[in-house]
Amino acid sequence: MKPLTTILFCLPLATATDYFFSFTSGNAITNSQRLRFNNSIPISSPGASAAPHNPADHFSRIYVNGSAPLTQATLYVVPTNPHPPPVPGYYALSGQEKVPDAWRLIQSYRPQDFAPGEFRFDDWTLKDAGGNRTLLRYGTDDLGEWRWIAVREVSNLGVERWVPWWVKPTEGNLGNLTNWEYVVVELELVVAKGPVNSLAPGGILE
Ligand SMILES: *[C@@H]1O[C@H](CO)[C@@H](O)[C@H](O)[C@H]1NC(C)=O
Ligand SMILES: *[C@@H]1O[C@H](CO)[C@@H](O)[C@H](O)[C@H]1NC(C)=O
Ligand SMILES: *[C@@H]1O[C@H](CO)[C@@H](O)[C@H](O)[C@H]1NC(C)=O
Ligand SMILES: *[C@@H]1O[C@H](CO)[C@@H](O)[C@H](O)[C@H]1NC(C)=O
C-alpha cells in the first residue's frame, strides 16, 4: 500500500486553467493541430486549416474553472481580441443543423439564439488520459458510442477547414456521414502556457 502522503499529493488541485483545443490523428491537416477561430467565416466553429496560417486567426482559447479530471464542466470563451461583448461566451454543442446524433462544436456569446435543447454547454467532461493528455467528452457515454470527427468544409472564398463534430453513428445520420468528407479524430485540451496577446500570431505570447 502507498504511504498516505503520496496519495494526498496525487489529489487533483482545484485550479482554474486556460486550454486550447487540439486535434490528434485524422489527417496531415488535423493531426496535432490546435484549433483556430476564423472571424471571417460565418459558422462559428473552431477548426484546423493547412498552413500558411493567418496570424489574425487566433487559437480558440478556453477557460475552465478546474482541471482534469472534471465532469459537468463549462468551457468559457477567453476573448483574445479587444472589445469582447460584456457577456460570457461558451463553447457548446449545437444541434442547429438538425443532423440526428451529431452535434457541431461552436462558440457563441448568444445562447438565446438557439432553440431549447440545441445549445449544450454545461456537461463537458475533461478526461485524464495519463501522460498529461486531457480528452474532451460530452455528457454520459457509458457505452463509448460517441466520437469526435473532423468534417471538411470550404468557405465561400474557397478556404478549406476541418471542424469538430461529436457524433454517434446511427441510421439517422448515415446519409449525412456518407456525404461528408471527414476523418475520425481525438479532441484534446492542451494547457495554454502563455498569456493572451491580441497582436501576437494566434493571440498568444509563447
Ligand atoms: C479565414 O477566412 C478567410 C476568408 O475566408 C481567409 O482569407 C483566411 O485565409 C482564413 N484563415 C484560415 C486560417 O483559414
Ligand atoms: C470556481 O469554482 C469554485 C468552486 O466550485 C467557486 O467557488 C468559484 O466561484 C468558481 N469561480 C469562477 C470564476 O467561476
Ligand atoms: C507531464 O507534465 C509535467 C509538467 O510539465 C512533466 O514534468 C511530466 O514529465 C509530464 N509527464 C509526461 C508523461 O509527459
Ligand atoms: C443531412 O442530410 C439531410 C438529408 O439528406 C440533408 O437535407 C441535410 O442538409 C444534411 N445536413 C448536413 C448538415 O449535411
**111 CA to centre of own chain:** 17
d(CA 199, CA 58): 10
Per the domain annotation, does 162 fall within a domain? Answer: yes
**8 CA to centre of own chain:** 31
Cα(192) to centroid of ligand 4, in Å? Answer: 36
CATH (domain of 73): 2.80.10
Judge if the beta carbon of residue 191 lies within 6 A of ligand 3. no
Cα(82) to centroid of ligand 4, in Å? Answer: 37
Q: Whose CA is closest to atom 5 on ligand 3?
A: 132
Q: Whose CA is closest to atom 11 on ligand 3?
A: 131
Note the residue count of the chain: 206
**183 CA to centre of own chain:** 16
Tell which atom from ligand 1 comes closest to the C-alpha of 156: 5
Per the listing, cell 454547454 goes with 121
Provide the domain count of the chain: 1
Which cell goes with 90? 461558451
**Helix, strand, coil percentages, rounded to 5, for the chain:** 10, 35, 55
Per the domain annotation, does 4 fall within a domain? Answer: no
Q: Whose CA is closest to atom 9 on ligand 1?
A: 54
DSSP 88-138: --EEEEE-TT--TTEEEEEEES-GGGSPTTSEE-S-EEEEE-STT-EEEEE
d(CA 59, CA 48): 10
Per the domain annotation, does 96 fall within a domain? Answer: yes
Say if residues 81 and 198 touch (Cβ distance below 8 Å). yes
Per the domain annotation, does 33 fall within a domain? Answer: yes
Which cell goes with 10? 496525487
Per the domain annotation, does 1 fall within a domain? Answer: no
Would you state the pLDDT for residue 32?
97
List average pLDDT for each run of 10 residues in the chain, which is 206 residues long: 41 70 98 87 83 92 93 96 90 96 95 95 96 95 95 88 97 97 98 94 93
Per the domain annotation, does 164 fall within a domain? Answer: yes
Q: How far is CA 14 from CA 82, 137, 144, 199, in A?
A: 29, 19, 27, 31
Per the domain annotation, does 200 fall within a domain? Answer: no
d(CA 173, CA 99): 6
Cα(31) to centroid of ligand 1, in Å? Answer: 19
> What is the span of the domain harbouring residue 95?
13-194
Give the side-chain half-sphere CA count within 13 A for 163: 23
Q: The whole model's pTM is what? A: 0.88
Would you state the pLDDT for residue 85?
87
Per the domain annotation, does 7 fall within a domain? Answer: no
Q: Whose CA is closest to atom 3 on ligand 1?
A: 40
